[in-house]
Chains A and B, each alone.
Chain A
Amino acid sequence: MATNPMHQFEVYRIGPEIKIGTIDISFTNASLFMVISSLAILLIFNLGSKKNSLLPDKIQLLAELSYTFVAKMISDTAGSKAKPYFAFIFSLFMFVLFCNMFGMIPYTFTVTSHIIVTFILASFIFVGVTIIGFMKHGLGYLKLFVPSGVPAILLPLIIVIEVISYLSRPISLSVRLFANMMAGHTMMKVFGGFVISLGIVGGWLPLSFSVALTGLEILVAFLQAYVFAILTCIYLNDALNLHH
Chain B
Amino acid sequence: MLKDTFKTRLEIAKNKLLKKNLYNGKEPASSIGTAFKMSTELVSAVAVGTIIGFILDKTFGTKPWLILIFFFVGVIAGIVNVFKSAKNMQK
Contacts and interface: CB of A to CB of B under 8 A. Distances in A.
Contacts, number: 69
Interface in B34-84: 36-37, 40-41, 43-45, 47-49, 52, 70, 73-74, 76-78, 80-81, 84
A10 B33 CA distance: 27
A179 B40 CA distance: 10
Given A176-B40, A223-B32, A164 B45 contact: yes
Q: Is the interface of A mostly helix, strand, loop or mixed?
A: helix
Given A176-B40, A179-B40, A180-B36, A168 B30 contact: no
Interface string A184-221: 00000000000000000000000000000000000110
Contacts of A223: 29-30, 32-33
A81 interface: no
Interface string A103-147: 000000000000000000000000000000000000000000000
Contact of A175 (B40, B70, B73, B88): B40
A175 B70 CA distance: 21
Interface residues of A, number: 27
Contact of A73 (B22, B36, B88): B22
A175 B47 CA distance: 11
A164 B43 contact: no
Contact of B37 (A72, A167, A227, A244): A227
A44 interface: no
Contact of A171 (B33, B48, B80): B48
Contacts of B30: 223, 226
Nearest to A231: B37
Contacts of A220: 32
A36 interface: no
Contact of B49 (A164, A226, A231): A164
Interface string A145-171: 000000000000100111011011101
A171 B73 contact: no
B50 to A, nearest CB: 10
Interface string A228-240: 0001001000000
B68 to A, nearest CB: 14
A165 B77 contact: yes
A91 interface: no
B22 A76 contact: yes
B87 to A, nearest CB: 9
Given A164-B73, A168-B81, A227 B43 contact: no
Contacts of A180: 36
Contacts of A164: 45, 48-49, 52, 70, 73-74, 77
A172 interface: yes
A160 B48 CA distance: 12
Nearest to A219: B29
Contacts of A168: 41, 44-45, 47-48, 77-78, 81
9 contacts: A76-B23, A161-B73, A164-B48, A165-B77, A168-B41, A168-B81, A172-B41, A172-B81, A175-B40
Closest 5 CB pairs of A and B: A172-B44, A171-B44, A164-B77, A168-B45, A168-B44
